[in-house]
Structure 1
């Protein structure tokens, strides 16, 4: 267990950089320690109020420390409370998202949650831990609480992997849980300033066919990479390599009949498929209390054909079907909110987000 005090890392916010490994004295060495020796989380520490409870934040594709602006608003709002905020820096953060996968993300999230409990319990006793994801971080949150525990092994990358049992969390928040597949299909349908819709469809179809044909190389032991000239025209950053495997998971070409690992939130998935994701949260037993979902009303990555309110209602029905209520009633579509609430006109949406999050955490704290 290592930590370093920092004063100017996350846009001037003071805090502590934690190296999320088990202390040498632990009699339960983590199977992840040798794989993720550089896994770190930044704990915001604006005040000297004792902080027994923890909000763990996970960003989306391309995010890293300090890149999601509204997190500063959340930190300020929680300053007088008993909640500290940990921003987890996944190994696929920044430009590494195209080579990442949800399985490894939740392994690292599990390691961080276990580390926080070991770090805080001797000081404060058993505090609450809530995980919060922005954008694709929402997929990590959902995967954490709804997939088998331990998770299934990946046939290529987990050949020497030791199963990791995830510990339960007290709450879960998903902000901007959007469908990457529907966002990409919207670009293909509309075309771009450079490519017409028919040209975009041609580029997309070829990229999918090539990724299917050669997903792995070197005796199926390493990823192949989709050419940057292709992924950049589809809408990904030209500097971010995307593996064929992750590309197929994000675009999920067999959906809606057979959605990929990353395709959790698409509006054309069936109620039965949502029962297999949202509906499995209760059965897994990894969420002790309720789940808060905050969808952005003016999300730039959501096609205009998606009925956001109706989609949230379907998720709620699947989550709450047949037992204890999972869905928190504060879940909502935030009016006029952009994807990351980062535009110049986002003061009111950010106020609403902070209000919903802090009220939810107060309820979690009361148990």
Structure 2
């Protein structure tokens, strides 16, 4: 979910290889190592909405590119929500500057689901592409570990990926969920949703899960019956953070995250959380289901924290400094 959706000289490839590359080499050996630098000043974020860095391919598809600021062996990977792409939130520029001072790189990947692609993609596809990206960072840039930062529906991507037990998920040293809110509960406030869920269910039962829904199901992007059902239906694949899920249901969906240091940044004025939801209770229950995740409540913060940039960046930095790198186990051990 996103405010704009319905309802938001080239870096040289390293000649050395990580010992971990033996586990993942097969998934990345044919990937392009080409990169291009952007124009900009010597200080990241020196111009509004401009960051100097490196654009690189991490997979064979045209969309599988990522933008990296900073040249360090620890990376924060930002995973945006519906309709998001590069520079998706206001805090990314400030975060990039702050991370560079702490010797972390910020990586912003484009996935098949980026921009208007989310309706014909899935959490499974995002997970596969995230694994490709981390594989590239390990094999081509000798990564010593990554932290995943999800915004909105990007939080579902993180939860799904960490359940997949993909080879490169061992490199994930922490997870930050910023605005983990329910797409289902928000879309339930829209008048067309109930009828469209029924239609999506019918299409899925008729083996038409990958067929497109009518245009008015989602005016922002083409969307398949499967993805619409995943986002909007009770216990759909994307339904992870709804306030009406029981504690047991939340644990079933989120409990595996207990093995990963985790922070939840929740905006207490999130415009995509219905008024009837008790936000304080919800974030408390989410953190408990995640195995005791760190809770950060940002008073008056909106969904993308565009009105609380400083607080967002400080919360992320505090988590990185407190939990790692010394606080985390060696991801390769």
Q: Same fold judged by TM-score > 0.5?
A: yes
Q: Secondary structure at the match of 2:188?
A: helix
Q: After the TM superposition, which residues 137-286 of structure 1 pair with which residues of structure 2 at under 5 Å, given as runs?
A: 137-145=154-162, 147-150=163-166, 166-187=169-190, 200=191, 203-215=192-204, 220=207, 223-228=210-215, 230-231=216-217, 236=218, 238-252=219-233, 255=234, 259-282=235-258
Q: Secondary structure at the match of 1:92?
A: coil
How far residue 261 of structure 1 moved from its aligned partner, in angstroms, is 0.7
1:216–1:224 CA contact under 8 A, matched in 2: no
The 1:131/1:10 distance shift into structure 2, 3 A limit, reads farther
After superposition, the C-alpha distances for 1:107-156 in whole angstroms (9 at most, x for unaligned) are 111111111122222xxxx52310111000011011112x2435xxxxxx
Number of equivalences:
288
1:20–1:39 CA contact under 8 A, matched in 2: yes
Alignment root-mean-square deviation, CA: 2.2
Q: Secondary structure at the match of 1:365?
A: coil
The 1:216/1:6 distance shift into structure 2, 3 A limit, reads farther
Q: C-alpha separation between the residues in 2 aligned to 1:239 and 1:265?
A: 23
Q: After the TM superposition, which residues 127-146 of structure 1 pair with which residues of structure 2 at under 5 Å, given as runs?
A: 127-145=144-162
The 1:144/1:120 distance shift into structure 2, 3 A limit, reads same
How far residue 277 of structure 1 moved from its aligned partner, in angstroms, is 2.0
The aligned counterpart of 2:23 is none
Q: C-alpha separation between the residues in 1 aligned to 2:316 and 2:179?
A: 14
How far residue 167 of structure 1 moved from its aligned partner, in angstroms, is 3.5
Q: Secondary structure at the match of 2:39?
A: strand
- Asked if 1:2 corresponds to 2:34, the answer is yes
Q: C-alpha separation between the residues in 2 aligned to 1:165 and 1:173?
A: 18
Q: Secondary structure at the match of 1:355?
A: helix
How far residue 216 of structure 1 moved from its aligned partner, in angstroms, is 8.1
Q: Secondary structure at the match of 2:148?
A: strand
- Asked if 1:11 corresponds to 2:49, the answer is yes
Q: Secondary structure at the match of 1:18?
A: strand
Unaligned runs of 5+ in 1: 22-32, 151-163, 188-199, 321-325
- Asked if 1:116 corresponds to 2:137, the answer is yes
Instruction: Name the larger-Rg structure.
Output: 1
How far residue 70 of structure 1 moved from its aligned partner, in angstroms, is 1.4
How far residue 206 of structure 1 moved from its aligned partner, in angstroms, is 2.7
Unaligned runs of 5+ in 2: 1-32, 41-46, 328-333
The aligned counterpart of 1:192 is none
The 1:211/1:341 distance shift into structure 2, 3 A limit, reads same
2:193–2:232 CA contact under 8 A, matched in 1: no
1:296–1:334 CA contact under 8 A, matched in 2: yes
- Asked if 1:41 corresponds to 2:66, the answer is yes
